[in-house]
Structure 1
Amino acid sequence: MTNLANPSQLLPLELVDKCIGSKIHVILKSDREVVGIFLGFDDFVNMVLEDVTEFETTSEGRRVTRLDKILLNGNNIAMAKLTDDQVNEYHEIFLLFDTVGDNKIAGSQLGEVLRAMGQNPTESDVRKCLKDRNIRLSFEQFLPILTGISKTRPHNTLEEFTEGFKVFDKEQNGTISSAELRHLLTHLGDKLSDDEVEQLLMGHEDPQGNVNYENFVRAIVGGGNL
């Protein structure tokens, strides 16, 4: 057994898949506060449990039987092999949705954030991943959800790119400002140079400085540039 004395510590992503099928035991300081996590293998796992709502006492500790925050099961914990660059890219996008400054997102934003990362989950998918939409999720809690969703959905379709831009469409009129689009293209994902962005935007910016992102994505995807 491994005791995670400090559950807030960031832990290696490649070890998460070892948790599949393992019993997870927790030691609670109070009814709601987790102070230690026991896993059925000798390595750490990149998951923080913060709200245990049901557990049973065993000779080894208290075994989690239900979580309101995260559904911890094999499908959610199974991690795709992510590179450091991919994790950093996802983290940058994740932080764009932190409106409080605590490095977390609202549970109600889960679908939006996933779509901003190129995924296209249904509302049913989102509900299966998160029971309580009123909580706030850390990046460490979010990442297993992302990888679980990404393994079951096709990537890089026109619809998914469009959905990714749609979350930045505050007016819901089919456009985003060219300034915001420039920022996204030069700071997130496969970062483009200013010259590359100007070439891509040529002919797509209207007199008000906005871009119809559906037409933009259709032109870019059709030309093989995304």
Structure 2
Amino acid sequence: GKAEKVVEDLDLPKGRHLIEPMPGALLMLLLLKGKLKGKIPQLKDFILSHIRFIHADTADIDLELGFLQHLAVKFEQHPVRIAVVTSSIKYEADIVLSQVFKVFREELQNTGLKGSELEELTNLFSDHNTFYDAVLTATDSSEIRLKPFRDLYSMALHKLAVPVDHFDRVIGFEDSESGNLAIRAAGIGLAVAVPFAQTAGHNLSSASYVAKYGLPEVIFKKHLFFNQ
């Protein structure tokens, strides 16, 4: 509850937070949960900032927006079940995820959405416990056999009711070596590494794909691995 005071003491740049989501996380979650259909024109500037994050000025904007619209329709019809899997204990995870969702709500205020559409999405990110279909923490495994062991991911697959013969349809995203090893150990079909500054030096050879530019690369360069 003292994050704002810590930010003030650290003299962080205006608009920065002590705990922040990785770039592209809000857009990815909106897309996967089927909430982008009909909103892409209003979100154009917000979306373009993600495209330019990986493509600079070389992207075919209309092509990218068209493909995003295609995905938006697909995911509205079939929203994705999403689990968070963390080696943090529940108390810590709740603090971090609460702060991340607070940043999401702030981000939404600057997307160009207005009125009922803005209210709908703001409410969507009011509580991480109701947004995600499952949240698995070290507390769920009594703080033993954490990543790189498969246990937390296996528990997540069970909570999401994914049949064993559908494990190959699941994608796991991790920012570390141990996380990607855990995804693979659980039998998940695709392990995507999204390293950040502190994990850029990790051995990510166990990953199916390393997204150097993070989630924007997954969305706009790999198109969420459709047809792969």
TM-score scaled by length of structure 1: 0.24
Name which one, 1 or 2, has greater alpha-carbon Rg. 1
Higher RCO (CA-CA < 8 Å; seq separation 6+): 2
Structure with bigger strand share is 1
TM-score scaled by length of structure 2: 0.24
